[in-house]
Structure 1
Amino acid sequence: MTLISSNEIRSKFSALMSEMYKNEVPLYGDLLDLVKTVNQQTLAQDVQLQAQLNMTGELDRLSLERHGAIRLGTAEELFNMRRVFAVMGMEPVGYYDLVPAGVPVHSTAFRAVRADDLNQSPFRVFTSLLRLELIADEKLRQLAEQTLSQRQIFTEQALALTEKFEQQGALSAHDADCFVREVLETFRWHTQAPVTKELYDSLHEQHRLIADVVAFKGPHINHLTPRTLDIDLIQLGMINQGMAPKAVIEGPPRRKCPILLRQTSFKALEEQVAFQTAQGQELGTHTARFGEIEQRGVALTPKGRKLYDELLNKTRHQLGGAPTENNAQQYMALLAQNFMAFPDSYAELRQQKLAYFHYFAEVKADCSLQMSDSTDVEALIEQGLLHFEPIVYEDFLPVSAAGIFQSNLGEGSQTDYVSVSNLAVFEQCLGRKVIDEIHLYEGIQQDSLKRAITKLTQSTT
């Protein structure tokens, strides 16, 4: 019996998910075509960028790159989703509290954690858990809890194969194919809602996202996001193709050396839904699913993240609030001006310890490295014996994610909640601790430096 690796299972699932979503949301297919064209043009015009992506192993994965997003309703759903994603080699990385942004969820990102695994399949899913305790109306909260308790978002076969993986540590080729097909059903869009229009409207009045979670049979994937190398060209291309993108690109401004994450999207689709009634069905509409595109930059250190947050907060303070269609140009101008304080060369970012980097040995025939020199990184770089390239940021931005939620769910969807971040409760629901993404980037950097120095040292002995 041939056993299939988690990387292969994740890759199969990502491909099937993409095909399903393309069929459900045809504009997603148009986005993929636009991203492919822009990426090809960018690589053809920027040989240095192409060499950089090739060196870090990102070039081959570029066309496969996707992240998705789902919203869950109960602790049990989150617990089992964690088990299902573990079959695909995906672990919970980071904790995102979106409550301060007026979105009643807290979240994590399921993804692979090793650089080699990410390069084989960089599929990620931003996974949110609804905080039902934030529904102020006690009767409505009880109705929401009752509705969620009656649904089962996973097929019996999906859970059985998950348990089989947990017992034997892998799945056969046949079981893996069955697993991805069964799990795909969890993410499928359903036009039949198991609630009345009246309950949907009440939930919607509390918050659009609450209605999106509670009023449906399962956590339909609400977007799949390809990765572009030039998001500004994508934004322009979306306008030219009549896709109605967001007013502003979320995240930092355009830079020579991209940092963290920039993302844009087209507005959520209005889709027909059949709600339950005593007589049969009542037609209505729901908006949740949209198209998103991202451009990833270098991962920032805590020092870099602090500077990023300061500059972003300064911009929003100067603007007097969040960016809208009315002040988009002013916001982008302020953002570009303020971010001039953030170094825009990889050399400066590395020297000032603002970002993380891969290190590579540059072995030379006349290399005369001494063991005593091997820990002097700056000297090795100056001698041309050590080369560095940016470590791509593999995660999400809480502020940016909240902005995407709000801008696509519509105006007036933000609510002021009196609550505090609750990582402990989230981890209890999850059934394990989340991984600190900063430690992952630090580990990747240190491992690459160790390998590079070892290679240099061995080449001189």
Structure 2
Amino acid sequence: MDITSWNADELRTSFCLAMSNMYRKEVPLYGDLLRIVQEVDASVSNRNGQSPDDLPPRYHLERHGAIRLGSDHELRVIRRLFSILGMRPVGYYDLRIVNFPLHATAFRPTAAESLDKNPFRVFVSVLRKDLVSPRLRGIVEDALCKRELFTPRLLELLDRAEDGEIMTSQDGKELITESLKIFRWHSESVVHIEDYLHLKKEHMMIADIVCFPSAHINHLTPRTLDIDLVQSEMVKQGLPAKERIEGPPSRQCPILLRQTSFKALEEQVNFHGGVAGTHTARFGEVEQRGAAVTAKGRALYDACLHSALADTSRDPDDALKVAFSKYPDTWPELHDLGLVYYRYSATELGLKSARPNGRTGRPKKTLKDLLREELVKYEPITYEDFLPLSAAGIFKSNLGDGNVQAVNEEDVGGLGQLEEGLGCKVADHYELYDALQKESIQNCERDLNVEIVIGW
């Protein structure tokens, strides 16, 4: 691997596998969760007349992790690391809407080819110190000053890679080894237990971020084909599953993201001064990903979700089903109403009837006509991002912090603050999905040697 910038896709996959192995050793129940997901996916595949080997390669690698950081310095270095792994910050999540003193972005690949190889994502939230009580800010600053997440060797490797030096496969292995130290769990706290309890009383998230020497990964999430079946299997096999699945209800045409988890572990911790105690942070999450929705589709989703949250006369799951009955649930409807992003491709019939490339001039064809004539087909683009209310529902059920209540509060400079910490702009996920859709249409134009008119 003697190339100037490494192969980001290969390096990301190696990093993801190494992190999964580390987390499995730290949290044995994670291994049980992976086994359940594999069994469920095999069962679903067999039911559909397929085998798990028929699934796209990304299914067997796909994970997302989550970490929490305490400073702009930590955020900036994490951005540098993930950039080398081919991951960009996508989307801004103002977690004040669920009363968390944090905001976040998700690092992930953005190109279609990289997503197909391994769409590894890390949801990175950062403490907003301006939302911490003034009486506790001194404790926060002192504790964060006592830790350094990044080893000198890691920083040296990042510098060399960014300077365009020739990097070897051994350098890549070292980068992964040094990077894992950022995410490893430590049972030692950098604060006295009294300070920990003060910070925990303010907010559990503040204590989790501030009181430990690493940005320990708090979950590593596999993707499944049937999250309802995984949920029932977790209960059946004795895993401490949370009570309900977060996100939209089960549908014929899955959209966005559904998540569930087993509940957080109570970790033994040695606090500063030799006092023993416990901390609750890490849990096992699983997700089922559906189609990426357009801005119009998301507005309808949000309206349905808020209708369900406001319906206190029904069980929450029943309220969701009633509210989402207004959301179309066939792929043609979702397509024709412009609610979902799609990837278009030429059919075998289309390729057989394509005009020879040597001929000058390309006829204009509407996308509608190409679909009607079965020269082009479509499939939904996978949603690669996150839902703050669903994530908060997972966090709060694990941390024992009550019910999620959405707070409609205007953002005041949060995105600019996060981007300043990152040292770069945050990508807009709608623009990314739109670009993937347009790229697929351009591929159809090339393959069929026509000019495609989008209008209906």
TM-score by length of 2: 0.92
Measure the CA separation in 2 of the matches of 1:148 and 1:423.
23
- Offset of 1:420 from its aligned partner? 3.4
SS in 2 for 1:442: helix
Deviation at 1:411, TM superposition (A): 3.0
- Please name the residue that 2:176 is paired with: 180
Alpha-carbon spacing, 1:368–1:39, altered in 2? closer, same or farther (3 Å): closer
Cα deviation 1:115-145 (Å, max 9, x = unaligned): 1101212111000001111112x23111111
Equivalent in the alignment of 1:300: 293
CA distance in 2, matches of 1:343, 1:416: 25
Aligned to 1:402: 392
CA 1:156–1:432: 2 relative to 1, 3 Å: same
* One-letter amino acid matched to 2:446: T
Q: Which residue of 100, 105, 125 maps to 1:128?
A: 125
CA distance in 1, matches of 2:405, 2:449: 58
Amino acid at match of 1:453: E
After TM superposition, list the pairs within 5 Å mapping 1:29-428 onto structure 2.
Answer: 29-47=31-49, 59-136=56-133, 138-168=134-164, 171-277=167-273, 281-319=274-312, 330-364=315-349, 367=353, 374-412=364-402, 420-421=411-412, 422-428=414-420
Q: Distance in 1 between matches of 2:51 and 2:386?
A: 22
Quote how far apart the aligned CAs of 1:28 are: 0.2
| Most deviating of 221-230 and 374-383 | 374-383
Amino acid at match of 1:75: D
Shift of 1:100: 1.7
- In the TM superposition, what is the alpha-carbon distance from 1:266 to its structure 2 partner? 1.0
Shift of 1:91: 0.6
Matched residue, 2:454: none
In structure 2, what is the Cα distance between the partners aligned to 1:442 and 1:415? 31
The answer as to whether partners of 1:374 and 1:453 remain within 8 angstroms in 2 is no
Q: 2:431 aligned with 1:435, yes or no?
A: no
Compare 405-414 and 166-175 and name the one that shifted more: 405-414
User: Are the structure 2 counterparts of residues 253 and 210 from structure 1 closer, same or farther at C-alpha, using a change threshold of 3 Å?
Assistant: same
Cα distance, 1:48 vs structure 2: 8.9
Q: Which deviates more, 113-122 or 387-396?
A: 113-122
SS in structure 2 of the partner of residue 303 of structure 1: helix
Shift of 1:359: 0.5
Aligned 8 A contact 1:208 1:413 in 2: no
How far apart, CA to CA, are the structure 2 residues paired with 1:415 and 1:268?
21
SS at 2:425 equivalent:
coil
Distance 1:420 1:187, change over 3 A: same
Give 3-state SS (helix, strand or coil) of 2:191's partner. strand
Letter in 2 for 1:78: L
8 Å contact 2:389–2:404 — kept in the other structure?
A: no
Residue 324 of structure 1 is matched in structure 2 by none
Deviation, 1:374, is 3.9
For residue 9 of structure 1, what is the aligned residue in structure 2?
11
State which drifts further: 372-381 or 282-291.
372-381
Classify the secondary structure of the residue corresponding to 1:175: helix
| Counterpart Cα distance in 1 of 2:410 and 2:272 | 33
The one-letter code of the counterpart of 2:171 is: D
Amino acid in structure 2 at the alignment position of 1:2: D
The one-character-per-residue Cα deviations of 1:293-339 (angstroms, maximum 9, x if unpaired) are 0000000000000000000000000127xxxxxx7xx1111111221
* Matched residue type, 2:81: V
Partners of 2:393 and 2:404 within 8 A in 1:
no
Distance between the aligned counterparts of 1:21 and 1:414, measured in 2?
28
Unpaired runs of at least 5, structure 1: 321-326
Partner residue, 1:21: 23
Q: Distance in 2 between matches of 1:171 and 1:408?
A: 42
RMSD, aligned CA: 2.3
CA distance in 1, matches of 2:381, 2:299: 18
Amino acid across the alignment from 2:411: V
- Rounded to whole Å, the distance in 1 between the matches of 2:117 and 2:58 is 7
Long gaps (5+) in structure 2: 451-456
Preserved CA contact (<8 Å) 1:265 1:293: yes
- Length-normalised TM-score, structure 1: 0.91
Instruction: Answer whether contact 1:363 1:456 (CA < 8 A) is retained.
Output: no
SS of residue matched to 2:449: helix
Q: Is the contact between residue 103 and residue 414 of structure 1 (CA under 8 Å) also seen in structure 2?
A: no
Contact map agreement 1:261 1:294 (CA 8 A) in 2: yes
CA distance in 1, matches of 2:353, 2:217: 53
